[in-house]
Amino acid sequence: MIELQLSEQMRQWRKQVSLKKVIGLVPTMGALHEGHLSLLKKAREECDVVVVSIFVNPTQFEDSNDWAIYPKTLSQDISLLKTAGVDVAFLPTVDQIYPEGDHFQLTEDSLSRLFCGAHRPGHFRGVLTVVMKLFHLIKPHQAYFGEKDFQQLQLIKGMVEAFFMDIKICPCPTVREADGLALSSRNSQLTLEQRSQAVELHKILQVSPSASSAKSVLSQKGFLVDYVEDYQGRRLGAIRLGKVRLIDNVIL
Ligand code: PAF
């Protein structure tokens, strides 16, 4: 597996890839788990060359402390990527992605303001900006994203359409623990007690007759609920457990 840190190295590598090869990109923020591995597996099956980026993007964290404490497990991640048969790991630093500072940003002014966007101002601007930068550097034909971040997935699909980009966005189903908790890098920040409570989010989203009843049941159980809303055939929800924010969605 080739490891690249510099944006210029990435551009040079990309220039020499044969035009006949299908390139798949899995963008990540590291702290890899089975959910990421399912994206890698799908990319490996469908593409000739698989590139994974690991970059904890500061511009999508509205709180710089949250960015600083985001789990980082780089050496473990690299071993997982090698085992998964990844061809290229792109591991840039912040100044490689934002050489100009972050003066140029990509804004969406509708869906990005709802749901998670209403509670994390600027979050999706950061996500769309970094994904656009990665798309320009790596020029993948296909890119893989998890359905757990359903709103993010819809926004990235919308961005690719709006800017006429020839990139196929490939959604991958949420991977769950045996008790139903959606896998997330943030789960490692939960205490044992919070971990046992966290499973309620998925259960309640699934069994409640409406979004508003799911929201009241979660609140009655003592969770701080950011939102529960139905959108495009899914019920989306976000709760806070101490300092950890968890999101999930179920198909209605
Ligand atoms: O879903 C994530 O891990 C991040 O939001 C992404 C898409 C890698 C952009 O930083």
Question: What is the tens place of the pLDDT at every residue in 107-163?
Answer: 999 999 999 999 999 999 999 999 999 999 999 999 999 999 999 999 999 999 999
140 near 21, Cβ under 8 Å? no
Our answer on whether the CB atom of 127 is closer than 6 Å to any ligand 1 atom is: yes
- Shortest-distance Cα residue to atom 1 of ligand 1: 28
Q: Report the CATH architecture of 185-247.
A: 2-Layer Sandwich (3.30)
Homologous superfamily of 2-172 in CATH? HUPs (3.40.50.620)
d(CA 49, CA 143): 12
User: What pLDDT score does 231 carry?
Assistant: 98
d(CA 145, CA 195): 24
Ligand 1: nearest atom to the Cα of 185: 3
d(CA 185, CA 73): 10
Mutation pick for ligand 1 pocket among 28, 36, 59, 147 (CB with most ligand atoms within 8 Å): 28
Distance 157 CA to ligand 1 centre (A): 14
Contacts of 209 (CB under 8 A, 6+ apart): none
Mean pLDDT computed over 42-46? 98
- Strand, helix or coil at 165? coil
Contacts of 229 (CB under 8 A, 6+ apart): 114, 115, 211, 235, 236, 237
Contacts of 134 (CB under 8 A, 6+ apart): 25, 27, 53, 55, 90
- At 113, the amino acid letter reads R
- List, by residue number, the catalytic residues: 36
Distance 28 CA to ligand 1 centre (A): 5
User: What pLDDT score does 139 carry?
Assistant: 98
Per-residue model confidence as pLDDT tens digits over 168-215: 999 999 999 999 999 999 999 999 999 999 999 999 999 999 999 999
Domain boundaries, the chain: 2-172, 185-247
Distance 213 CA to ligand 1 centre (A): 30
Question: From its phi and psi, is residue 25 left (phi > 0), alpha (psi between -120 and 50) or beta?
Answer: beta
Mutation pick for ligand 1 pocket among 33, 57, 67 (CB with most ligand atoms within 8 Å): 57
Distance 27 CA to ligand 1 centre (A): 6
User: What pLDDT score does 212 carry?
Assistant: 98
Distance 224 CA to ligand 1 centre (A): 24
- Shortest-distance Cα residue to atom 2 of ligand 1: 28
Mutation pick for ligand 1 pocket among 152, 153, 160, 174 (CB with most ligand atoms within 8 Å): 152
- Sheet hosting strand 49-54, strand order edge to edge: 2-4, 88-90, 49-54, 23-28, 142-146, 168-172
User: What pLDDT score does 11 carry?
Assistant: 98
Our answer on whether the CB atom of 130 is closer than 6 Å to any ligand 1 atom is: yes
